[in-house]
């Protein structure tokens, strides 16, 4: 993965610092053209990797990238699935079976899955999951997607239910069907690493909160530091500013000091934030680890 990856929280009203800012951002980015404008600023600054949910509006971004392939030759998507709110709303409105039936492709797969209700009755979670992965990935057809992430809401649910074998199912399937590596987003990185070891996923990509004050780091800061220093995996850091609790330089110096952190995920909504923080990230995080095409902003880091 790229050392620095641009995120999409700001585009869909997610801000861990302020609900008011989140609402303002959601209003601002109701127009997809405004999202594309910010992505263009990031891309023209050298940030080519975009980590995004499978929100329906991301399909519009994918279509724009495909339609302008010469401009976006290096543009890379890192899909994160599922977009939980979409599924929650569908289940609330239509029930579980109807929600699934409405989301899955109507090409015979549904008949195979729901024939006599057997797959549901047998709790064929792997089969359902594979079909949902295919459905979520359709918007990215023709786009570069080298890593596909499982969102923390599912990762941590499977972790809590001890359904660890499904991590292996996810990893194997995205590689086999979509030629991508699996990534896992979690709020409990040390526990997830144990589960991934159990199902023999070697050197996994794991994205989690990593920051100096232990903000939203289940298991505690000491356990995270020990894991990063001693375990074989590729850590991707988010929420490095601990929702504004740590000053930018101090926060980034802390991450840079954890020598094995591979990437940082961030989101920014203005040219000023992008340009003003690029130098800091290049100097502190990237400078001694090779070149990067990305940067980070103070109050938009996820």
State pLDDT tens for residues 12-65: 866 555 566 656 666 778 899 999 999 999 999 888 999 999 998 999 999 999
pLDDT in tens, 81-133: 988 666 555 545 655 555 555 555 555 545 555 544 544 544 566 777 888 89
Collapsed DSSP state (helix, strand, coil) of residue 104: coil
The DSSP line for 179-190 is: --EEEEEES-HH
Distances in Å between the Cα of 171 and the Cα atoms of 78, 167, 296 are 14, 6, 29
Domain positions in the chain are 4-88+144-286
pTM listed for this prediction: 0.84
Residue 217 CA to residue 209 CA, distance in Å, equals 6
Topology of domain 4-88+144-286 in CATH is TIM Barrel (3.20.20)
For 47, the 3-state DSSP assignment is coil
Distance CA 149, CA 81 (A): 6
């Amino acid at each position: 993965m790229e050392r620095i990856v641009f995120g999409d929280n700001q585009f869909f009203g997610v801000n861990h610092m302020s609900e008011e800012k989140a609402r303002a951002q959601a209003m601002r980015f109701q127009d997809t053209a405004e999202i594309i404008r910010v992505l263009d600023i990031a891309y023209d600054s050298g940030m080519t990797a975009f980590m995004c949910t499978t929100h329906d509006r991301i399909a519009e971004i994918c279509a724009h990238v495909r339609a302008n392939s010469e401009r976006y030759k290096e543009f890379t998507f890192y899909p994160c699935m599922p977009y939980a709110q979409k599924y929650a709303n569908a289940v609330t409105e239509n029930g579980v079976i109807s929600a699934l039936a409405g989301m899955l492709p109507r090409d015979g797969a549904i008949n195979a899955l729901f024939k006599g209700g057997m797959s549901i009755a047998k709790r064929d979670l792997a089969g359902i999951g594979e079909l949902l992965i295919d459905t979520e990935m359709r918007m990215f057809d023709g786009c570069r997607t080298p890593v596909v992430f499982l969102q923390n809401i599912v990762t941590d649910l499977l972790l809590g239910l001890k359904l660890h074998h499904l991590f292996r199912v996810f990893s194997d399937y995205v590689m086999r069907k979509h030629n991508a590596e699996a990534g896992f987003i979690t709020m409990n990185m040390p526990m997830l690493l144990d589960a991934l070891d159990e199902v023999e996923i070697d050197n996994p990509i794991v994205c989690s909160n990593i920051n100096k004050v232990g903000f939203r780091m289940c298991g505690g800061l000491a356990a995270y530091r020990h894991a990063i220093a001693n375990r074989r995996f590729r850590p991707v850091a988010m929420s490095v500013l601990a929702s504004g609790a740590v000053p930018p330089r101090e926060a980034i110096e802390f991450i840079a000091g954890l020598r094995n952190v591979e990437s940082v995920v961030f989101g920014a909504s203005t040219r000023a934030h992008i340009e003003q923080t690029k130098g800091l990230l290049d100097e502190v995080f990237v400078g001694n680890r090779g070149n990067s095409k990305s940067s980070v902003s103070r109050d938009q880091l996820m």
